[in-house]
Amino acid sequence: MNLIQKIKRIEQYVLENFEELDLDDPIEEGYWEEYQEIPGASQKEIEAFEKKFSIKLPKDFKALYSYKNGSKYFSILPSVIHDVEMSFSLMSLEQMEKTKQYFQNRDALLTEFPDFFTEEEIEKMRDGRIKPYLFHKQWIPFAEYCDSCYLMLDFAPGKAGKEGQILCYVHDPDSVTYAAENITDVVGSIIKDNHIVKRDRQ
């Protein structure tokens, strides 16, 4: 299965298992109908986004956004990040631009927040793949859950990280952790964690 085929399997899984995922009925609420009408981003829109932020989006990420430019209220990424279940919705490129105006729009090290993080907590969060920041201009949020948790593309990784890797920001208590190497891995984990392929075969 390629990435988009996997996304289509997840769409069906969410429709059939929304209660298990603690979500509203996407058909009853109209989320599914709205989602179906969302077009993919054009190459021109993707290139304009890259130019605005002086980045080169990963190939698999561009493939996903060429299929759907966001998911509105449909939770297309029901993920488990560090044992926490979070059903993320994809932001459109336009939403991502707007979000960057007030979130991840500055560089701020974890050490700049002594009221929130002790030295021990900062040490516990240390990960060679991620720079020790709470906010960073080169982090691009692209999916959100409950208006307080975000998946972000990382274009300023730590020495052991890779450009374009995916981080997870959680608010209250705040933390930034490594989530996956790329969107393909995020989607693959959803398929695996929820046994989606096995369910299809039953």
pLDDT at 199: 55
Instruction: Tell me the domain boundaries of the chain.
Output: 3-201
d(CA 116, CA 108) in angstroms, rounded, equals 13
* Residue 148: partners with Cβ closer than 8 Å, 6 or more residues away: 170, 171, 172
3-201 folds as SMI1/KNR4-like (3.40.1580)
pTM listed for this prediction: 0.94
The pLDDT tens digits along the chain (202 residues) read: 899 999 999 999 999 999 999 999 999 999 999 999 999 999 999 999 999 999 999 999 999 999 999 999 999 999 999 899 999 999 999 999 999 999 999 999 999 999 999 999 999 899 999 999 999 999 999 999 999 999 999 999 999 999 999 999 999 889 999 999 999 999 999 999 888 865 555 4
Token pair in block for residue 10: 């997840």
Type and span of the H or E element at 145: strand 139-145
Q: What pLDDT is attached to residue 178?
A: 97
Residue at token pair 């603690």: 22
181 neighbors 151 (Cβ within 8 angstroms): no
* Burial of residue 78, with CB atoms counted within 10 A of its CB: 0-12 exposed, 13-18 middle, 19 or more buried: buried
Residues in the chain, overall count: 202
Task: Give the sign of the dihedral formed by CA 21, CA 23, CA 27, CA 33.
Answer: negative
Return the structure tokens found at 139.
């982090």
Residues 6+ apart with CB under 8 A from 164: 57, 58, 61, 153, 154, 155, 182
Q: Distance between CA atoms of 72 and 64, rounded to whole angstroms?
A: 15
Give Cα separations from 124 to 20, 84, 113 (angstroms).
32, 18, 15
